[in-house]
Structure 1
Amino acid sequence: MLHVEALEAAYGDSRILFGIDLSVQKGEVVTLLGRNGMGKTTTIKSIFGLLKPRAGRVSIEGEDLTGASPHRIALAGLGLVPEGRQIFPTLTVQENLVATARPGGKWTLARIYDLFPRLAERKRNMGSQLSGGEQQMLAIGRALMTNPRLIVLDEATEGLAPLIRADIWSVLTRLKDEGEAILVIDKNVDALTCFADRHIVIEKGQVVWTGTNDEILATPEVKDRFLHV
């Protein structure tokens, strides 16, 4: 599905990524973990063409898309739920959902409203009138409406109330059960281990640990060393 090999990236003269390797297979849920400032969002930006890599390779279904434009990455089947949500504040909920939709796939307005009943209730409200949790639901729904092969969530529950976080985890578990491939960044490691298949830990722009869900549960020192503040 997604294969990233030896990815390097920088902002000006400041190198951020030093040879990142990661992959996500069909139907797999993979997490990208690490403390703040370790390169997680830079990795996502480099994958999506929002930041041109200095070196390495990004391929989707075997097609080399290293440094390709964001719209080409989207057409190849990657859907992004960006950090900070970035919904369109002057469009209604329904307009946000259809603005970038790709027709003909399994994700339709009806299915999104079934997944997020709150969005159905608020479909005529402007994006700026939604709570943070509702905006995150909308950002996920908008990404799904592109009918992606892989959905990527950057800081999936950052800044959300506990009950809303639980709703998001429930939705991601449902998506996994339906066979969606997911790459997720979040700080709630305990919640992620309830449904993820594999975990990748980044420290100072490098992958320092990777393993299965069972392996991270069996090695609590990974969380103590690389994830706790």
Structure 2
Amino acid sequence: MLHIEGLAAAYGQSQALTDVTFGLEAGEVVTLLGRNGMGKTTTIRAIMGLLGSVGGRVTAGSLRFGETALIGLAPHVIARQGIGLVPEGRQIFPTLSVEENLVATARPGRWNLEAVYALFPRLRERSGNAGRNLSGGEQQMLAIGRALMTNPRLLILDEATEGLAPLVRAEIWSVLGRLKAEGQAILLIDKNLSAVMQLANRHVIIERGRTVWTGDSAALAAAPELREQYLHI
């Protein structure tokens, strides 16, 4: 489904990625792991065509989603290929209501208002509230619901539970587990190693802009030296 080979990217003269290589197949959950500043979010921006908006550019490599080459495509064109993004910092529309946020980018498919409200009942309760009046946890639910309303083949979450209260984090992990069970492909960044190891099929560790390890949760659990070296766990 998603295939990245030798991806390199830069911000001005500063090289942010040098050799990111990994893939993700339909129905898989794959995590991007690594310390802060190692290139995880830059990888997501490259996938979504968003590097240009922050002064960056892809300098080498290939990036394909299915049969479509993504490099050089506009973000809205990439999204229409079937990729939904829950961005770092949520980035909901603050002056729009919950319902307006959800329908703003909706596309036909299984995920509609009723389906999202069933997944996140709190959003139904606050459907008329402006996005800026929601708690952080509610905003994250809204960001996930908004991405699902595009009916994506691949759902990408950048920092899925960062800064959320424990009960809200647990709810988000439960939802992601349900989505996985239903066959939703997910690419995920999160610092909660124990949670992602329970959820994901495979993990990709990025260090200084390059892929240094890939493997499943059992292999990662059996390698404490790897976690210490690259994740500081």
| Other-structure match for 1:137 | 141
CA distance in 2, matches of 1:83, 1:222: 26
Matched, 1:18 2:22: no
1:84 corresponding residue in structure 2? 89
TM-score, scaled relative to structure 1: 0.98
**Paired residue for 2:165, among 150, 161, 178?**
161
Alignment-mate amino acid for residue 72 of structure 2 = G
Deviations 1:147-183 (A, max 9, x none): 0000000011111111111111111000000100000
Q: What's the Cα RMSD here?
A: 0.9
Q: Distance in 1 between matches of 2:15 and 2:117?
A: 42
d(CA) in 2 for partners of 1:74, 1:49: 9
Quote the residue 1:48 is aligned against: 48
What is the CA-CA distance between 1:62 and the residue it aligns to? 2.0
Tell me the percent identity: 64
Match of 1:185 in 2: 189
1:122 corresponds to which of 121, 126, 130: 126
Tell whether 2:230 aligns with 1:222.
Answer: no
State the alpha-carbon separation in 1 of the partners of residues 40 and 73 from structure 2. 19
Query: Which residue of the partner structure matches residue 110 of structure 2?
Result: 106
Aligned-partner SS, 1:194: helix
Q: Is the 8 A contact 1:46 1:67 kept in 2?
A: no
The equivalent residue for 2:77 is 72
Consecutive aligned runs of 4 or more in structure 1 exceeding 2 Å deviation: none
Q: Which amino acid aligns with 1:100?
A: T
- Could you tell me whether the CA contact under 8 Å between 1:31 and 1:183 is conserved in 2? yes
Asked whether the 8 Å contact 1:32–1:185 carries over to 2, the reply is yes
Query: 1: distance between equivalents of 2:72 and 2:171?
Result: 35
Match of 2:152 in 1: 148
Matched, 1:208 2:204: no
- How many aligned positions are there? 228
Hey, what's the Cα distance between the residues in 1 that align with 2:150 and 2:220?
32
Q: Secondary structure at the match of 2:110?
A: coil
Separation in structure 2 between the aligned mates of residue 45 and residue 195 of structure 1, nearest angstrom: 23
Q: Distance in 2 between matches of 1:155 and 1:228?
A: 17
The 2-side partners of 1:182 and 1:221 are apart by 27
What is the identity, as a one-letter code, of the residue corresponding to 2:48? F
* Counterpart in the other structure of 1:37: 37
Gaps of 5+ in 1: none
Shift of 1:187: 0.4
